[in-house]
Chains A and B, each alone.
Chain A
Amino acid sequence: MTDQPSLSFFARLWLALVCFWRIWLDRSFAQAVLPVRQADIAGRLPAGAPVESAPAPAPAPVPAPVPPPVVAVPPEREHASALQLLAMLQREGRLIDFLQEDVAAFPDEDVGAAARIVHEGCRKLVRQYFTLEAVLPQGEGERVQVPAGFDAQRIRLTGNVAGQPPYSGALKHHGWVATALTLPSPSPAMDPRVLAPAEVELS
């Protein structure tokens, strides 16, 4: 039914997020997506389209023109955005260096010094590209009401979960939600697998 690698739920969630914001913020990207959307409506989506979402009107009487062979996108291209984010966390905050090192072998002082570098860089990056807000505005420790019909994605119940909403409980973690995302678009000229180039200093 499809020539494309199947997309996991999380891959689709990521793609939806990225596409949503890029369509919103990047006119040229939106223009590139438009033909796909139109083809989708017209039921002419090339291989990869789920059949049930575009019921074929009638079997083609003549051998349909062979759709251009869809080249399977290699995984690193499919997840280019994720790799790019990792590369940026390394570039700005040395995150990969930090995670790849054995922390246990070093005293807390050294870990603390390194953490400052990672913290400063990654924080700058997160602030620049993501707008983060708490899911619930109340202070942690305060009592909050959870109404009936609450969004179970946004609020997770813990402890003695019983009975029917509305619930009343203590806010343990205010949660995080990204309200805006402005990642740069990955360049086709670059291999997204390279998270950081090796540096060779010439003398």
Chain B
Amino acid sequence: MARYAIGIDLGTTHSAVSYLNLEEGKPRGPAQSMLPIPQVTAPGTVEARPLLPSFLYLPSAQEFPPGSLALPWNPNATHFAGEFARTHGAKVPTRLVASAKSWLSHPGVDRRAALLPWQAPEEVQRVSPVEASTRYLRHLREAWDHTFARAREEAGNAMAAQDVIITVPASFDAAARDLTLEAAKAAGLDNPLLLEEPQAALYAWLEAQGESFRKSMRVGEVILVVDVGGGTTDFSLITVRDRAGEVELTRVAVGDHILLGGDNMDLALAHTLQQRLTAEGKKLDAWQFNALTHGCRTAKETLYGNAAFTHAPLAIASRGSSLLGGTIRTELTREELDRVLTEGFFPTTPLTEMPRLARRTGLAQMALPYAQDAAVTRHLAAFLTRQAQALASSPDSPVDVGGKAFIHPTAVLFNGGVFKAGPLKARVMEVLNAWLAADGGQPARELEGADLDLAVARGAAYYGWVRQGHGLRIRGGTARAYFVGVETAMPAVPGMEPPVKGLCVAPFGMEEGTQADVPPQEFGLVTGEPTRFRFFASSVRRDDKVGAFVDDVEGNPEFEELAPVETTLPGTPAPYGDLTPVNLQAAVTEVGTLELRCLEKNGPGRWKLELNVRMKE
């Protein structure tokens, strides 16, 4: 029996750990706390901070004096994560691992291959996105154990013995979830649960509301969670339903994974100021540009925090010891802030304006698939209209879309550090309410009172409490339907590939802890030699049942092809054409991952397909 519920927010730019004592028999108050995370903040200095910046620095052997990277639980640490990794890594980008989480969900690369820091020189010992995530999680586990389970008699307090809930973006596909779990296991956490971040944010809000939630929320409400963090933007829809007289929360839809966040915004401001400085004949080196980005963040907070200021001064120090001669002065004006940030990232656009997708140049640097369009509001419009179309054609839609151009949210919950800027929240509400008014709807209201930095970790810990039967649970299941590609039998035609059909193996909304047998179809499974499976997912095909065949999955915008599974299933190679007859079974584990099993027909053979081990070609 676990003593604590521990929520881990493994974020793109920051991680945090919250916990509550399950034995105390109440959800929190001061009992739900944040774990102070000891981390290297300078050589020879270890300090505890509420957030662990998700940065990993891989130093060369001579770079720092021996013992200066020691952690309280590891005197011989050779690499470091956290605050100093971020600040020092800005000066040595080739040894800094950043955005590991975005790489973890990038289907275009082999996520188990040591490829970070991306484009590092040969001699740097690289790590894989999974390994980087493992190291952050191990740091958090060791910090916990150091704080709560140092003595032998405290062994029951070790993190591995608690209910650990790790949050993932709602838009993480089955593979990225699986890899997160793999990282957790490698970090010494055997049975963590996965929870979607927007759900965690809503749990944190519910917890803060207490019982008053039932008074303030009516059945039929549609809550839009807008989560803009340091590196990603995520949308989720959660609706309030009535099931047998009981209020129930159901997660209706999640958006695509959009690599766009607060870091883009600070960079955009820094580029704007840099252009002005260049015009004035002042050149910035990479380090100064980084300082400028940091300064822009502070200036942004100043201007958004006080409407009376027309500009915020900025000073960028020289690298050298002369502070007076080398300092570059500039300022961020409100006009620039509004133009670049409010209008650039949150423009007032009509609902019909969709995000730009086209690349402007034929060749692009191979890197993370960043969003091509910076306008969060256009991505939101695309999400709400796309989901409305999907729900309108669904016979048992949990939300009434009847004749509306897009899903009408009745309430909005903001999450992510970007929304510490009140004017940006106000802009999202303004744009959304303009769409609602134009479509004949009622204005949506904002759900107030979320702690934007810590809500996800806190909500995750609270989920541990909810799982024990307290409070309201958000039901959701898979946010996508999953299909396996089946090659259709056709006579060989030169130069023509046989078309691929999609067989639905896991329907949309399949709940944790359930499994589904794919009815009568029987497949021939190749064992004992390398073979390849193709998978497709769809966030809008809500009504395909298990076993349904879809003809045109290739090139269909409703489907997204996942990385194929290339594997050699144990067994003896059979002579050509002699395949093992199997039935397929899909299971969504308690943990929140998807498993595909091949069960030998009338035999004992069982094979598990691990989704997405190789990169997409």
| Chain A contacts to B: CB under 8 angstroms | 84, 88, 91, 94, 97-98, 100-101, 103, 105-106, 109-111, 113-114, 116-118, 120, 184, 186-190, 199, 201
**Are the C-beta atoms of B327 and A117 separated by less than 8 Å?**
yes
CB-contact partner of A117 in B44, B68, B315, B319, under 8 A: B315
Option from B65, B298, B324, B329 in Cβ contact (under 8 Å) with A189 = B65
Nearest CB of A to B263, in Å:
20
Cα A118 to Cα B317 with chains together (Å): 10
Say yes or no for B321: interface residue by CB 8 A criterion. yes
Q: Does B325 contact A (CB under 8 A)?
A: yes
Contact A120 B323 (CB under 8 A): no
Is there contact, CB below 8 Å, between B43 and A190? yes
Given contacts A91-B42, A117-B317, contact A101 B65 (CB under 8 A): no
B45 near A114: Cβ-Cβ < 8 Å? no
* Contact pick for B321, options A84, A97, A188, A201, CB 8 Å: A97
CB distance from A104 to the nearest CB of B (A): 10
Which B residues touch A91, using CB under 8 A?
Answer: 42
**Given known A101-B324, A199-B319, contact A189–B46 (CB-CB < 8 A):** no
A-chain residues with CB within 8 Å of residue B43 when the two chains form the complex? 187, 190
Q: Which of A100, A118, A184 has the most CB of B within 10 A?
A: A184
Query: How far is B45's CA from A84's CA once the two chains are assembled, in angstroms?
Result: 10
Do residues A114 and B327 form an inter-chain contact, with CB atoms below 8 A? yes
Chain A residues positioned under 8 Å from B66 (CB to CB): 189
Name which of A84, A111, A117 has the most chain B CB atoms within 10 A of its CB. A117
The 6 A-B residue pairs with the shortest CB-CB distance, nearest first, are A189-B67, A187-B44, A190-B44, A116-B315, A113-B329, A113-B315
Would you give the shortest CB distance from B386 to chain A, in whole angstroms?
44
Residues in chain B within 8 A of chain A (CB atoms): 41-47, 65-68, 70, 91, 298, 313, 315, 317, 319, 321-325, 327-329
A109-B329, A114-B315 in contact; A184/B323 too (CB < 8 A)?
Answer: no
Closest to A190 in B: B44
Cβ contact of B327, chosen from A105, A110, A188, cutoff 8 A: A110
Closest residue on chain B to residue A95 by CB atoms = B323
How far is B31's CA from A24's CA once the two chains are assembled, in angstroms?
22
Show 7 residue pairs from A and B whose CB-CB distance is below 8 angstroms, ordered by the A residue: A113-B327, A113-B328, A114-B323, A117-B317, A118-B323, A187-B68, A188-B67
Instruction: Report yes or no: A187 in contact with B70, Cβ–Cβ below 8 A.
Output: yes
Separation of A116 and B331 alpha carbons in the complex (Å): 12
Bound-state CA distance A120–B315 (Å) is: 10
Which residues on the A side are within 8 Å of B65 (C-beta)? 189-190
Cross-chain contact B323 with A117 (CB below 8 angstroms): yes
Bound Cα distance from A29 to B321, whole angstroms: 36
Give chain A residues whose Cβ lies under 8 Å from the Cβ of B319.
199
CB–CB B67/A100 < 8 A: no
How many angstroms between the C-alpha atoms of A118 and B315 in the bound complex? 10
B47 touches A184 (CB 8 A): yes
Kindly state the separation between the CA atoms of A113 and B313 in the bound complex, as whole angstroms.
9
Residues of A within 8 A of B45 (CB): 84, 184, 187
Closest to B287 in A: A201
Q: A106–B321 contact, CB under 8 A?
A: no
Interfacial chain B residues near A186, Cβ < 8 Å: 44
Q: Are the CB atoms of B67 and A187 closer together than 8 Å?
A: yes
Which B residues are CB-close (under 8 A) to A120? 298
> Which B residues touch A110, using CB under 8 A?
324-325, 327
Q: Select from chain B the residue with minimum beta-carbon distance to A100.
A: B321
Alpha-carbon distance A100/B67, docked complex (angstroms): 31
User: Hey, which chain B residues are within 8 Å of A111, CB to CB?
Assistant: 324
Within the assembled complex, what's the spacing in Å between the Cα atoms of A190 and B70?
A: 11
Min C-beta distance of B335 to chain A, whole Å: 21
Q: Is the CB of A94 within 8 A of B298?
A: no
* Distance in Å: Cβ of B303 to nearest Cβ of chain A: 15
**Using Cβ atoms and an 8 Å threshold, which residues of chain B touch A109?**
329
Q: Are A94 and B324 in contact (CB under 8 A)?
A: no
B53 to chain A: closest CB distance in Å?
A: 16
C-alpha gap A97/B323 in the complex (Å): 6
Smallest CB gap from B65: residue in A: A189
> Which residues of B lie under 8 Å from residue A101 when comparing CB positions?
321-324
Enumerate chain A residues within 8 angstroms of B298, measured Cβ to Cβ. Answer: 120
Looking at the assembled complex, report how far the CB atom of A111 sits from the nearest CB atom of chain B, in whole angstroms: 6
B323 contacts A98, C-beta separation under 8 Å:
yes
Q: State whether A94 and B323 are in contact (beta carbons under 8 Å apart), knowing that A109-B329, A189-B44 are contacts in the complex.
A: yes
* B residues in contact with A106, CB < 8 Å: 324-325
- Residues in A whose Cβ lies below 8 Å from that of B46: 184, 187
Are A184 and B41 closer than 8 Å at their CB atoms?
Answer: yes
The residue in chain B whose Cβ has the minimal distance to the Cβ of A90 is B321
**CA–CA, A187 and B65, complex, Å:** 11
Shortest B78–chain A CB gap in Å is 14
- Most B C-beta atoms less than 10 A away, residue of A103, A106, A186, A189: A189
Q: Which residue of A lies closest to B291 (CB)?
A: A117
Residue of B with least CB distance to A186:
B44
| Residues from chain A with Cβ under 8 Å of B322 in the complex | 97, 101
Residues of B within 8 A of A88 (CB): 42
Q: How far, in Å, is B353 (CB) from chain A's closest CB?
A: 40
Closest to B295 in A: A120
A94 to B327, CA, bound (A): 12
- CB closest residue in chain B, given A202: B92
Q: Knowing that A109-B329, A113-B315, A113-B327 are A-B contacts, what are 9 other residue pairs whose CB atoms are under 8 Å apart, sorted by A's residue number?
A: A97-B323, A98-B324, A101-B324, A114-B317, A117-B317, A184-B41, A187-B44, A189-B44, A189-B65
Q: Name the distance in Å between B197's Cβ and chain A's nearest Cβ.
A: 28
Please give the distance in Å from B422's CB to the nearest CB on chain A.
22
Chain B residues with Cβ below 8 Å from A105 are: 324
**Which residue of chain B lies nearest to A102 when distances are taken between CB atoms in the complex?**
B324
Q: Tell me the complex Cα distance, A105–B323, Å.
A: 12
The complex places the Cα of A88 from the Cα of B45 at a distance, in Å, of 10
A52 to chain B, nearest CB (A): 38
Complex Cα–Cα for A104 and B337 (A)? 35
Distance in angstroms between the alpha carbons of A110 and B534 in the assembled complex: 63
Nearest Cβ on chain A to B458's Cβ, whole angstroms: 23
In the complex, the answer to whether B324 meets A103 with C-beta atoms within 8 Å is yes
Residues of A within 8 A of B328 (CB): 113
Nearest chain B CB to A100 CB, angstrom units: 7
What is the bound-complex CA distance between A105 and B327, given in angstroms? 15
Least CB distance, B302 to chain A, in whole angstroms: 11
Q: How far is the CA of A184 from the CA of B44 in the complex (A)?
A: 10
Q: How far is the CA of A88 from the CA of B511 in the complex (A)?
A: 52
Q: Which A residues touch B47, using CB under 8 A?
A: 184
The residue of chain A having its C-beta at the shortest distance from the C-beta of B314 within the complex is A116
Residues of A within 8 A of B324 (CB): 98, 101, 103, 105-106, 110-111, 114
B5 to chain A, nearest CB (A): 25
Residues of A within 8 A of B41 (CB): 184
The answer for the CA separation of A120 and B45 in the assembled complex, in Å, is 21
Residues of A within 8 A of B44 (CB): 186-187, 189-190
Q: Which residues of B contact A201 (CB under 8 A)?
A: 91
A42 CB, nearest partner CB in chain B, Å: 27
Contacts of B91 in A (CB 8 A): 199, 201
Distance of A97 Cα from B325 Cα, bound (Å): 11
